[in-house]
Amino acid sequence: MKGAFWISFRLMAIASTISAALCATYSRSENIVGTGFYDSFNFEAITDPNHGRVNYVNKTTAMSQNLTFASANTFILRGDWKTVINDSSTTGRNSVRIRSNNAYTTHVAVFDIVHIPQGCGTWPAIWETNEANWPNGGEVDIVEGVNDQGNDQVTLHTVAGQALWMYDAYLTDTNGVRSTVVISGQLNCDTSVNGCGVNVGQASSFGPTFNADGGGWYAMERTNTFINVWFWSRKATIVPADVSAGGTTVNTSNWGTPVANFPNTTCNFPQFFDAHNIIINLNFCGDFAGQASVYASSGCPSTCKSYVDNNPAAFGNAYFWINSINIYQ
């Protein structure tokens, strides 16, 4: 999950040029809900690889500081919203980073989310990777954004020099969500040039608007020939029944056009994408949210580090509220 200064433009082409996605029916292998998150995920108290003003804590500390709690059907992860940090301290604001115990190749993951962390200096993300082999094993960013700026950004990252992508058109999905190609340097997924990304194109896909609308559903389908991501707001007029119900099977052929479609036009997915764990984390500042140009363009006050250190009350809304994650294989 590498930061970037993203430049967006639209490649205008007819929708028929979009690579076809081979959809299928999948059966549920995991239903992760409520306290079940503690069995399915590990808390990672690690040094942040993205240089954030953050201190990831272990499960015991997170529970004792109320940075995580769960009920039968609710799971919460959050950053500290009480402590002033000394600007000279080498320790950032306490927060959480969890990684799934299981890893996945071909699968569908459906995330039922009510609230995403918001606020200046925040950098929340839900993504998949093989940390031990990064970037060689690839990365899929499903939910990511910073400083309440813009919409959700879906991005792939791969090993340097690989995975050139040819985007044929922007996508407009069944709910009228228009995505735009995010260009950074070349049209490739090389992590050294910030990967290849798609801007979902709707305010309800991230940040305060997502939260005000009661959240929604994200879904990712990964196969050996494509990676697709869908988004449905809680207020959307069309949400597939198998998504909203969280049932035992899903049929992605009924889901309409995804907001992001990555075909294997010039990339051998099995070669550049390992079995992935799901990671959910809340960073502060760092290589993306903390970039001076990105932070300033968000209309946020002071500098990112100073703001995060000295304004704990500003992070009262910096939390994930997740109803469930369903995995289908």
Residue 283 CA to residue 291 CA, distance in Å, equals 13
CA dihedral 137, 133, 324, 54 (to 10 degrees): -130
Q: Are 260 and 144 in contact (CB under 8 A)?
A: no
Q: Tell me: the pLDDT tens digits for 120-167?
A: 999 999 999 999 999 999 999 999 999 998 799 999 998 875 545 544
Helices (H), 186-291: 207-212, 241-244, 269-272, 286-289
Catalytic site residues? 139, 144
User: Bigger pLDDT: 263 or 310?
Assistant: 310
Radius of gyration, alpha carbons of the chain: 19
Q: What is Dmax (Cα atoms) for the chain? A: 56
The predicted model scores a pTM of: 0.90
Q: Which CATH number fits domain 7-328: 2.60.120.200, 3.40.50.300, 3.30.70.270, 1.10.10.10?
A: 2.60.120.200
| pLDDT tens figures, 66-107 | 999 999 999 999 999 999 999 999 999 999 999 999 999 999
Placement of tokens 């272990």 in the chain? 58
Q: What is the mean pLDDT of the chain?
A: 88
